[in-house]
Amino acid sequence: MRSVMLAGTGSDVGKSILATGLCRIFLQDGYHPAPFKAQNMALNSYATPDGLEIGRAQAVQAEAAGIPCHTDMNPLLLKPNSDHTSQVVLNGKPIGNKSAYEYWRNDPSLREEVHAAYDRLAAKYNPIVMEGAGSVSELNLRDHDLVNLPMARYADAAVILVADIDRGGVFASCYGSIKLQTPEDQQRIKGIIINKFRGDLRLFDEGRKMLEEICGVPVLGVVPYFKDIYIDEEDSVALEKKPLPSNGAAGSISIAVVLLRHISNFTDFNTLERDPRVNLFYTNNVSDLSRADIIILPGTKATLDDLMELRRNGCAQTIQRAHRDGKMVIGICGGYQMLGQTVSDPYGIEGAIPSLPGLGLLPIHTTMTPEKTTRQVTFKFNGHECQGYEIHQGISDTSEAILQTDHCIGTYIHGFLDNAPVIEHILKGAMKGEEVKNEKVKSEKGKELSPAEFKEVQYNKLADHVRRYVDIPRLYELLES
């Protein structure tokens, strides 16, 4: 079959989730699919089995496709350092920082690299489920675009345009996205999927016909918004949908994740969010932090800059006071570094701040170094074997993967809080009032599910949802023509 590309009328229209659903559908139907996104911009990343770095979305899509993730699925990853610069990760390894202007005036070698990655992937898998980035109609970037229609052209992929009806303007965004393409690229767009519909689908029957008439391509599906399917997201826009501070259920444990300006890998907290004993929220408000039973400092792309901001806005002092009062404080990756005695950057890896004192809760000193650690890890916690992965700049002067002192835990391991023994340990000392029963996630047959099994259930639920509302037989016809 031909490859298929899900391109968007804009950012956060649901391309990644739909690509995940198609990867699982193709796997269920006996094919051997693989995901591909030539260029991704995200702070949520993942370590491949061979210790390299890719965007989190492609790792999730690979899971849905039933295959190990690989850098060929996301050869270019941009990790923003600020509003103007990003770390460029090529084939899983950092190659330096570039300004947006420098990057978009890229040299031909980057295009050659993403083409080579696609070719290697397409030699092993079929079909390739490709994902575009942002809007397909950014005319000022067209000559330098590596990920949208130029990539579809190279792969001879059928393009499906994805539009978010929830934000409004779906007719204009679909029509404009198609008509602003060259005649050749307009012919490549084979269908439209309307995503995030709310309400009675029958109300859009007439709109569907009108959209097909003005755009000249079929609407393959109108997909309703869902809340009961849990798929990891990498886009920082997802943070806007996260829970706000509240009192929570009676007896629930209040967990505050410190909302850093450069927060990364916030998927670390998805499992805790779903725990019925927990009221988890994101905040940088000192009053909200002071009311929490547990405070978590998450990962960050700019440890020193975020540490400086914590001192400026009063959060650092609030965290230290909470720890003195006996509350649990947890630091993951950059958050772990902040909990130490000092963080130094003698090579200017992160910017102009040479060194800062940490919060002083853990006996470590961290030095930023040019080398980056990326690896999957297995570790022991309270006698149980657990799994996670590391992606971090900097080295701390300890050989311990997990450092614990009195009601304080620090670790470089992402996915640390996805492990049941870890969650039980941190919640045990924070229970208050009437104990909330730990309702394990179970299958329909009542079997308790591991985190990996839970993910499989979610991928299958997503596939069922997409099959129900997207004309998959028609999609196959387009890919086989």
Residue 90 CA to residue 109 CA, distance in Å, equals 11
Confidence of residue 246 (pLDDT cuts 50, 70, 90): low
Contacts of 371 (CB under 8 A, 6+ apart): none
Contact status, residue 418 vs residue 452, Cβ threshold 8 Å? no
Contact status, residue 308 vs residue 353, Cβ threshold 8 Å? yes
The stretch 44-64 carries a mean pLDDT of 96
Distance from the Cα of residue 276 to its chain's centroid:
23
Is residue 314 scored above 90 in pLDDT?
yes
Which pairs with CB-CB distance under 8 Å and at least 24 residues apart come from 394-401?
394/303, 394/337, 394/343, 394/349, 394/366, 394/367, 394/368, 394/369, 395/366, 395/367, 395/369, 396/336, 396/337, 396/340, 396/364, 396/365, 396/366, 397/364, 397/365, 397/366, 398/363, 398/364, 401/377
Catalytic entry in 69, 315, 333, 386: 333
The whole-number pLDDT of residue 117 equals 98
Host H or E run for residue 5: strand 4-8
Question: Which CATH fold topology does 4-231+455-480 show?
Answer: Rossmann fold (3.40.50)
* Coil/strand/helix, residue 328: strand
Task: Confirm whether 333 is a catalytic residue.
Answer: yes
Backbone angles phi, psi at 319, to 5 degrees: -65, -45
Backbone angles phi, psi at 267, to 5 degrees: -65, -10
Query: Whole-prediction pTM value?
Result: 0.90
Percent of the chain residues past pLDDT 70, beyond the cut: 92
Contact status, residue 48 vs residue 70, Cβ threshold 8 Å? yes
Confidence of residue 142 (pLDDT cuts 50, 70, 90): confident
Residue 447 CA to residue 468 CA, distance in Å, equals 26
Query: Cβ–Cβ contacts within 10 Å for residue 271, how many?
Result: 21
* Of 437 and 209, the one with more pLDDT: 209
Contacts of 365 (CB under 8 A, 6+ apart): 340, 341, 342, 343, 344, 396, 397
- Dihedral, CA of residue 136, residue 138, residue 140 and residue 145, to nearest 10: -30
Strands 384-396 and 189-197: unpaired
Catalytic entry in 70, 262, 407, 414: 414
DSSP string, 222-237: EEEP-SS-------GG
Give 359-406 pLDDT, tens digit per residue.
Answer: 999 999 999 999 999 999 999 999 999 999 999 999 999 888 899 998
Q: Which residues of 64-103 are buried (b: 16+ CB within 10 A; e: fewer)?
A: bbbbebbbbbbbbbbbbbeeebbbbbbbbebeebbeeeeb
E strands, 13-148, are 34-36, 39-41, 45-47, 53-55, 76-80, 85-90, 93-99, 128-131
Confidence of residue 434 (pLDDT cuts 50, 70, 90): very low
Task: Confirm whether 215 is a catalytic residue.
Answer: no
The whole-number pLDDT of residue 286 equals 96
The whole-number pLDDT of residue 84 equals 75
User: What are the distances in angstroms from CA 428 to CA 136, 305, 347, 354?
Assistant: 49, 33, 42, 39
CATH 3.40.50.300 placement within the chain: 4-231+455-480
Is residue 448 scored above 90 in pLDDT?
no
Q: Please, what sign has the CA dihedral across residues 319, 332, 78, 186?
A: negative
Structure tokens of 223?
């997909």
| Rg for the chain, CA atoms, rounded | 23
Confidence of residue 240 (pLDDT cuts 50, 70, 90): low
Q: Architecture of domain 250-428 in CATH?
A: 3-Layer(aba) Sandwich (3.40)
Contact status, residue 299 vs residue 334, Cβ threshold 8 Å? yes
Is residue 62 scored above 90 in pLDDT?
yes
The whole-number pLDDT of residue 323 equals 96
Is residue 441 scored above 70 in pLDDT?
no
CATH 3.40.50.880 placement within the chain: 250-428
Is residue 438 scored above 80 in pLDDT?
no
